[in-house]
């Protein structure tokens, strides 16, 4: 198991260029299956989730090259439509290949994703929407959602109850869909399935995350006709996406993690390629006493003193405070001045980091979807990453703790951060990796 050692008490100071967006590139890789011609993606992050996605694509018959941060995909010879469990268990966003394969070859067979460490994560909205588009989908072990009692299960692990999904898209057509909840993945699956279909598809209460806009921009550059206005998306179907060269934007969650790292360590961080989509976090950081200076692509943030705890923060779909930054925020509040409540509204199991923070001296009381965090001086300990963002949060706690902390289970973190140790070192932290 990989681990990270961090010496606390050193304020971060430095500049950083943020890796390409994980949640942006995963649906775009699935969308690279559609249409014709090579797709070239620049600033494609070198992370576990991308590696596994490219493996799935190779097995489907795509030709894939990577040279540094540039990935090229040629999907012209894809005929395979079965995604094996072996790959899908490692990456939950493999569910996006359902829409992409239906769009491309009108057939898809893939494992039904199970619950995971951060919540049950059903795909009912994906399936309902694709059925409204005319897909016939059979579910093996339908309705078998059960909480996995093993709290240490890997985030991407498929639960034992899951079977296969078999989908036929022969009679698919455009449709008017209203999502009950603005699910990011369901919105992406609808777009992937609808781009090449005859007729118009309208999605009401669609997700508004910036990654949805990136997917639409990528497909529109390839000739698709997709428009988004607030939570309404219109897709004029029947286009065949063509070749494109596209540059991935900076990852807003990685950006947010490093801004919160500056807040945790009372440091100063300059982001050289700020992605501009973090208003909810910037508002909060100012309320916590931080100084923000923004010029074009650059953002300078400094927290000259101990952060003041905000009284109440709740997670919400974009443009609300992102659930993916909830654990890193909790780590900052654990060492902040005062007490505050965090309410998690998106994923039910996202307070698993709290138990590890308590091992570092944090004072956290959980009551249902609310966590009350009272700031105090954290102390070093050996803790274990409970999931991707939770692992990063523990690094933020270690930056402000007395002594040297060890974070084990860094494999989780590598699914979404190219190299957390490299980045923190660049910002002046004392960090070592161990195997």
Q: Which residues participate in catalysis according to the annotation? A: 116
Closer to ligand UD1 at the Cβ: 74 or 324? 324
Cβ 115 to ligand UD1, closest distance in Å? 9
Hey, what are 191's tokens? 């777009």
Which residues in 337-385 belong to E strands, given as ranges? 339-343, 363-367, 370-374, 382-384
Closer to ligand UD1 at the Cβ: 125 or 192? 125
- In the complex, which residues of this chain contact ligand UD1 (CB under 6 A)? 23, 26, 93, 119-126, 181, 183-186, 207, 211, 323-324, 346-347
Hey, what are 24's tokens? 């942006």
Cβ 382 to ligand UD1, closest distance in Å? 27
Cβ 123 to ligand UD1, closest distance in Å? 4
Closer to ligand UD1 at the Cβ: 186 or 383? 186
Closer to ligand UD1 at the Cβ: 52 or 74? 52
Pair type for strands 13-16 and 268-271: parallel
Run of H or E including 66: strand 63-67
Pair type for strands 268-271 and 39-42: unpaired
Hey, what are 419's tokens? 């190299």
Closer to ligand UD1 at the Cβ: 387 or 423? 387
Contact 51, 80 (CB under 8 A): no
DSSP per position, 200-241: EEEEES----HHHHHHHHHHHHTT-EEEEETTEEEEE-----
Cβ 291 to ligand UD1, closest distance in Å? 28
Cβ 121 to ligand UD1, closest distance in Å? 5
C-alpha span between 154 and 157 (Å, rounded): 5
Peptide bond into 399 cis (omega under 30): no
Closer to ligand UD1 at the Cβ: 122 or 163? 122
At 154, phi and psi to the nearest 5? -65, 145
Cβ 221 to ligand UD1, closest distance in Å? 20
Provide the terminal-to-terminal Cα distance of the chain, rounded to the nearest Å.
6
C-alpha span between 311 and 329 (Å, rounded): 13
For ligand UD1, the nearest residue by Cβ is 185
């Amino acid at each position: 198991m990989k681990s990270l050692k961090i010496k606390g008490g050193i304020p971060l100071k430095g500049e950083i260029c943020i890796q390409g967006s994980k949640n942006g590139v995963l649906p775009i890789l699935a969308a690279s299956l559609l249409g014709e011609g090579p797709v070239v993606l620049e600033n494609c992050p070198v992370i576990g989730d991308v590696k596994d996605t490219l493996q799935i694509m190779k097995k489907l018959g795509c030709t894939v090259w990577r040279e540094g941060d540039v990935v090229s995909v040629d999907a012209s010879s894809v005929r395979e439509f079965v995604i094996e469990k072996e790959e899908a268990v490692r990456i939950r966003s493999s569910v996006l290949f359902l829409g992409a394969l239906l769009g491309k070859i009108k057939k898809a067979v893939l494992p039904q994703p199970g619950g995971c460490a951060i919540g049950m994560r059903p795909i009912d909205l994906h399936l309902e929407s694709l059925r409204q588009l005319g897909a016939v989908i059979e579910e093996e072990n339908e309705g078998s959602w059960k909480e996995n009692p093993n709290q240490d299960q890997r985030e991407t692990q498929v639960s034992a109850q899951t079977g296969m999904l078999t989908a036929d898209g022969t009679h698919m057509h455009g449709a008017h869909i209203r999502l009950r909840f603005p699910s990011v993945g369901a919105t992406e699956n609808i777009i992937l399935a609808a781009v090449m279909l005859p007729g118009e598809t309208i999605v009401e209460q669609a997700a508004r995350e910036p990654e949805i806009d990136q997917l639409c921009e990528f497909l529109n550059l390839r000739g698709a006709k997709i428009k988004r206005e607030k939570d309404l998306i219109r897709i004029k179907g029947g286009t065949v996406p063509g070749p494109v060269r596209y540059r991935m934007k900076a990852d807003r969650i990685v950006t947010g993690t490093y801004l919160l790292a500056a807040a945790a360590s009372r440091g100063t961080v300059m982001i050289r390629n700020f992605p501009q989509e973090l208003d909810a976090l910037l508002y909060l950081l100012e309320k916590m006493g931080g100084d923000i200076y923004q010029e074009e692509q650059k953002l300078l943030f400094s927290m000259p003193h101990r952060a003041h705890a905000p009284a109440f923060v709740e997670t919400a779909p974009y443009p609300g405070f992102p659930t993916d930054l909830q654990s890193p925020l909790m780590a900052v509040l654990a060492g902040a001045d005062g007490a505050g409540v965090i309410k998690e509204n998106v994923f039910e199991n996202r307070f698993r980091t709290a138990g590890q923070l308590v091992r570092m001296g944090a004072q956290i009381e959980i009551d249902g979807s609310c966590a009350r965090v009272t700031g105090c001086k954290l102390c070093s300990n050996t803790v274990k990453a409970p999931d991707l963002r939770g692992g990063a949060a523990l690094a933020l706690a270690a930056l402000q703790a007395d002594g040297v902390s060890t974070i084990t289970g860094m494999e989780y973190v590598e699914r979404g951060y190219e190299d957390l140790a490299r980045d923190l070192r660049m910002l002046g932290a004392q960090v070592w990796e161990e195997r």
